[in-house]
Amino acid sequence: MSWLRHLHLSGVAGKFTQRLASIVLIGFAMTLFFGGLAARQLELSDGGDTERANLLLTGGIVLAVLAIVAVGLLRTRWGITLGWVLVGLSALSMVLLPAMGIVTVIFGALWILALGQGGSMETLTRDWIAKHGNVHPDERVPDPTTPDRAHGVAENRPTERTVSRDPDHTERTNSEDSS
């Protein structure tokens, strides 16, 4: 679990961390919004207080808007901090709606995973660039002294299937095309 060392409470997120964290926060925003709608309707269906039902809906909307704002702030030093605050507020909302515990656990775990794995991906990318230069892997010139990792050998040899394959008489040959 070396990716846990990449966990931060604040600071500017790297490119991969921003991508993963924004996916988590957008999913969190949708879940909070629809959870607020469902909580309001459940409160009203039990003959509950309209004021409490509106409070649940308003809380869900506010948390959803905060999640969307946090996505926009991920490029600044406040983005990660707001994401943590959002997870904390979601945990506090369990006082009003106990089912928020499930949402908090799921999206809290996804948030931790996004921050940790995003940092790991950034480290791996930096290491690769330091070793190979800033060249896309498909554009690199292969080193003839190293074996081809895809096949485990230094050259691509025909397989049994391609060597023993009988010619297909239904295929056109170049001589047939010219006539």
**Residue ranges of domains in the chain:** 9-132
Note the pLDDT tens digit of each residue in 135-171: 766 666 666 666 655 555 545 555 555 555 556 566 5
Measure the CA–CA gap between 121 and 115, rounded to whole angstroms. Answer: 10
What is the rounded average pLDDT of the residues 22-39? 94
Residue of 161, 18, 143 whose CA lies nearest to 76? 18
Share of the chain above pLDDT 70, in %: 70
The pTM for the full model equals 0.70
Instruction: Check residue 129 and give its pLDDT.
Output: 82
Note the pLDDT tens digit of each residue in 96-109: 888 889 999 999 99
